Structures are given as structure tokens and as C-alpha cells.
Amino acid sequence: MEKQLVLLSLAFSILFSTVVSVRGISSRVCSSENQDGKYQFNSSGIHLTLHHPLSPCSPVPLPHLPVSTRLTHDDSRVAFMEAHLSKNPSSRLASLDRSSDMVDQLVSTPLTIGDSVGIGNYITKIGLGTPATSHIMVVDTGSWLTWLQCSPCAISCHSQEGRVFNPKASNTYQNISCSASECSALESATRHPSSCSTNNVCVYQASYGDGSFSIGYLSRDTLSFAGSSFPNFIYGCGQDNEGLFGQAAGMIGLARSKLSLLYQLAPTLGYSFSYCLPSTSSAGYLSIGPYNKSQYSYTPMLSNSSNDSLYLLKFSRILVNGKLIHVSSKAYNTSIVIDSGTMISRLPSDIYSALSKAVVAAMPKTPRAPAYANFDTCFKGNVAKLRVPAVSLRFQGGATMSLPAYNVLMDVDNSTACLAFKPAKSVAILGNMQQQSFSIVYDVGASKIGFAPAACQ
Ligand SMILES: *[C@@H]1O[C@H](CO)[C@@H](O)[C@H](O)[C@H]1NC(C)=O
Ligand SMILES: *[C@@H]1O[C@H](CO)[C@@H](O)[C@H](O)[C@H]1NC(C)=O
Ligand SMILES: *[C@@H]1O[C@H](CO)[C@@H](O)[C@H](O)[C@H]1NC(C)=O
Ligand SMILES: *[C@@H]1O[C@H](CO)[C@@H](O)[C@H](O)[C@H]1NC(C)=O
Ligand SMILES: *[C@@H]1O[C@H](CO)[C@@H](O)[C@H](O)[C@H]1NC(C)=O
Ligand SMILES: *[C@@H]1O[C@H](CO)[C@@H](O)[C@H](O)[C@H]1NC(C)=O
Ligand SMILES: *[C@@H]1O[C@H](CO)[C@@H](O)[C@H](O)[C@H]1NC(C)=O
């Protein structure tokens, strides 16, 4: 055990959460094309199968959790993102220690380290090392580094499906030294310095919106997807991995940051990726590289100087049953983070109240139900049986998401469905509940984000 690691891990003893999207689990059997671990490499890039964290088709399906628990974890992720965006990033560690509400949430979160819960992001598989071994990974647009648990798990590894990656068994594994440029890139990605182990290996720290973290050695090895491989891929070899990663081995970071998977593969594949986040009853995909440009409607990809690794966009208007909701055009002039790991979208509060009113007005015959957790717009009934109004989100530049009923209302129990949006505290977010079933392309090279409907179920 190395002392630095212990100290770092203490500094990161913060809250937890899981962020899980909710749709009724279907009894539909996973079809063969939905099986995990199918990846392809062709002239249109790399294609990985994505699974909803609750899907029975996932290689690591999560156990049942009450909706209220998932919502609590979703709030924790959002609180952490707010902290990143609103505070001076260079004082992030200190600011986390001081944040009393986060400590409170740690105490009240009814989950313990190692629980098989998972942080609720979508799941895929990668190959690593020579000879390649297969690992189940969580995919996150809010993360800047790819890491996985590594033997000997010097401090802690959570339980995972499949063998823990063993660097000693890979002929191509290398430690990154503290003086390497990749080690300095860590600092610019996290804006707090990397540390150095006693024998001069660069030590990374990755922490998440839900308080989970991984700390270990920055490493280099061959990443592989079916027929193709990418040598010298930089990732974290985790020696202290604590939190709610489900049974996954680690995390794929897709943020706009030098060390993310996207930026490392971009010289070969191009600076773009697309995904379709599936419901629990289907499978979706993550594609890296070229995409079919005519398929999408686009909005500009914006930047925020407080955190330039997040993906941002702006609404232009929102319609309910074809009618504009009542909100000033100024209210739309707010950057929204598009995030794969936040479940429920957080709308600027003016927009949220106008949307809630318009949805209520569009469902005059449906009896209201009491508020559920922080959802204040609830109805008696289930999404499958209710006449859910058409909600259309328009973005600057004309991109449109016409939301299917399951992306508008969410079944919170057997007889209650609630509007699946919340008012934002400080950071507005387009969450995965609303993204489900759309193909969404992040074209970082061309600074635009595109949407196409009905790409997966
Ligand atoms: C590449 O593979 C994907 C996923 O199977 C497929 O949808 C796409 O059509 C393929 N592209 C080409 C050019 O073969
Ligand atoms: C930006 O936000 C993401 C997601 O909250 C976080 O992982 C990352 O560390 C942040 N970066 C900085 C420089 O604060
Ligand atoms: C990498 O560094 C760790 C920590 O110092 C060490 O235990 C391990 O043997 C090193 N691996 C290689 C391949 O150099
Ligand atoms: C690209 O998308 C357009 C519009 O959906 C479609 O007509 C076309 O066939 C697609 N091209 C390829 C190569 O898939
Ligand atoms: C939107 O807000 C920015 C500042 O955040 C301002 O510079 C810009 O003029 C505003 N645009 C409109 C159309 O109000
Ligand atoms: C909801 O339905 C499930 C199965 O249909 C049943 O097991 C459960 O008891 C029901 N819960 C409530 C609160 O009625
Ligand atoms: C960056 O995000 C913060 C927090 O949401 C916000 O206050 C600030 O106005 C944003 N800056 C820009 C340039 O959008």
C-alpha cells in the first residue's frame, strides 16, 4: 500500500449516487443482435452495443431499486456537477471537503460501498492488453478519463463481473512516469495536480458526480475492439476503486478532454461519436468515428469556461401539442449540459413551470396524483395507458427532439406517472430519460450536436 493513495482516498470520501433511467422492464427476451460484447469496426467507425443499466440484456444488470432511491442518486450527481461548474475548479478538493450538504447526503444515502448498484450510466465492453482480455465498462459523457480496476487492487476493488485486469499478464502494459506529458495532461483535465508514487509512476484520481471514485496508476496499453486495436491507449489502472459502479470493471470517459477515449481515438477515427441510449427492453449503440451526416438535425455545441470538458447546447423553444409554452425568449438563453449519466432533465425554473402548466392543461381529463419525491406534476395512471401530450424540444439552429411518451412522463409506481423533468437549481441538464431512443451525435470537430429520432427502442 502506498501512503499517497490512502491520503488521496480519504480526500475523496464523499457522497454516492446512482443514476438510473426508468422504464418498465419488459419481459421481451434479448434478441441475439442485442447480446453484449458485439463490436464492429468498419469504414463508418467503431460500433459498440450499449445496454441500459437495468436491462436484463446487460452483462451486469442492476437489481431492482425504488424510483425514489434512483431519484436521490440522480440529485447527488447533479449537485456534484453544479459544484464543478459554479466553483473555482482549482479549489475543487477543498470545496468538496467544506460542502456540508454533500456530507449529509453521504450519511443519508442508503447504500454501502460495494453494493451491486452501479452508477446508472450505460454499459458496454472493451478489450485491453496483449493478449486482449474483455472488460465490462460504464460509458459517461461527463468523464474525462477511462479507467478500470487493476490487480493487485492495492487498496480496494469493488466486486465486478469477470476477472480484474492484470497488468502483469499483458505484454504491452506500461506505467506512465511522473515526468511524461500525459501525466501533466491529467492536471489540465482535472485542474488539480496528479501525484507521484514512490517509484515515479503518475497517480490519477477520478471522481464522479455520485461520489464514487477511482485512484491508481496512469498507464498505457493496447485497446481493442473485435478486429481492430489501438496501441498506446492511456487509461487509469485503478488500485482504489470505491463507489457504485455496479459489477462493471470501470468507466469509459467521453468528455471533451485530451485523455478521453474520444480524443485518443480521434486521430484515427475523427472527432465525433454518436450513441443511442436504449430502454430496458432493447439494446442501443455507441459509435466512434464517421457518421451519416444527413440523418441528423443540428444545434451548435457550446463551451463554458468553468468546465470546458462538458457538452453544452441551448434551447430555442418548447412546444406542447404543437403550442409554444409561455416563456420569454430570454429564458431560453441558458446553456444546457447534455449528459449521458444524469437521469432527469433539469430545466431553467421559468421553463420548467411553463412546461408543467402546459402539460397539465393538455391532460384536463386525467386525475392528478400527489407529488412524488421532487416530482410535483403527477397523474393517476401509467404511461402506457395515459394520453401523454406531444412535447417537442427545439434547440438553437433548428435541431428538434419530439419526445416519445416514455421520455415525457415516468411511471413512479403502479398507479402514478409524473412529468420526468425538474427545475434546475443552477445547472440546466438534458438527461438520459429524455435522450432515450434518439441517436445523438457529438461532432466535436465541427462543434455541433445532432439528433435523429427512433434509432433504438
Ligand atoms: C458498419 O457497422 C454498423 C453496425 O453494424 C452498420 O450499421 C453500418 O451500416 C456499417 N457501415 C458500413 C459502411 O458497412
Ligand atoms: C468538469 O465536470 C466533470 C463532470 O462533473 C468532471 O468530471 C470534471 O472533473 C470537471 N472538470 C473540471 C476541470 O472541473
Ligand atoms: C507499475 O508501477 C507499479 C507501482 O509502482 C508497480 O507495482 C508495477 O510493477 C509497475 N509495472 C510495470 C510493468 O512497470
Ligand atoms: C443516411 O441517412 C439518410 C437519411 O436518414 C438516409 O436516407 C441514407 O440512406 C443514410 N445513408 C446511409 C449510408 O446509411
Ligand atoms: C444571451 O446571453 C448572453 C450572455 O449570457 C448575451 O451575450 C447574449 O446577447 C444573449 N442573447 C440573446 C439573444 O438574448
Ligand atoms: C405493483 O405491481 C407489482 C407487479 O405487478 C406488484 O408485485 C406490486 O406489489 C405492486 N405494488 C403496489 C404498490 O401495488
Ligand atoms: C458556465 O456555467 C455556469 C454555471 O452553470 C454559469 O453560471 C455561467 O454563466 C456559464 N458560462 C457561460 C459562458 O455559459
Q: What single string gives the DSSP state of each residue in 141-156?
A: TT----EEEBTT-SSB
> In Å, what is the CA distance from 351 to each residue of 124, 314, 370, 428, 437?
34, 12, 22, 11, 24
pLDDT tens digits, 202-232: 988 887 656 677 889 999 999 998 678 899 9
- Output the CA angle 193-196-201, nearest 5 degrees: 125
- The amino acid occupying position 372 is Y
Q: What does the mean pLDDT of the chain come to?
A: 81
Q: How many Å lie between the centroid of ligand 3 and the Cα of residue 256?
A: 29
pLDDT of residue 93: 31
Q: Which of 294, 439, 451 to mutate to test the pocket of ligand 4 (most atoms within 8 A of CB)?
A: 294
The residue ranking higher by pLDDT, 411 or 30, is: 411
* Cis peptide upstream of residue 423 (ω within 30 degrees of 0): no
Comparing 52-56, 265-269, 313-317, 380-384, the range with the smallest average pLDDT is: 52-56
Q: Is 376's pLDDT higher than 50? A: yes
Nearest ligand to residue 311 Cα: 2
Residue whose Cα lies nearest atom 3 of ligand 5: it is 333
In this prediction, residue 356 has a pLDDT band, given cuts at 50, 70 and 90, of very high
Over residues 185-206, mean pLDDT: 79
413 lines ligand 6 (CB under 6 A): yes
The candidate with the shortest Cα–Cα distance to 144, out of 250, 281, 249, 262, is 262
306 lines ligand 7 (CB under 6 A): yes
Q: Is 17's pLDDT higher than 70? A: no
Highest mean predicted confidence (pLDDT) among 3-7, 240-244, 412-416 = 412-416
- The amino acid occupying position 203 is V
Q: What's the residue count for the chain?
A: 457
Catalytic residue among 74, 75, 140, 411: 140
pLDDT of residue 211: 65
Over residues 64-76, mean pLDDT: 81
Q: How many Å lie between the centroid of ligand 6 and the Cα of residue 415?
A: 9
pLDDT tens digits, 81-129: 777 676 543 333 322 222 222 222 222 222 333 233 345 678 889 999 9
In this prediction, residue 163 has a pLDDT band, given cuts at 50, 70 and 90, of very high
Q: Is 16's pLDDT higher than 60? A: no
100 lines ligand 3 (CB under 6 A): no
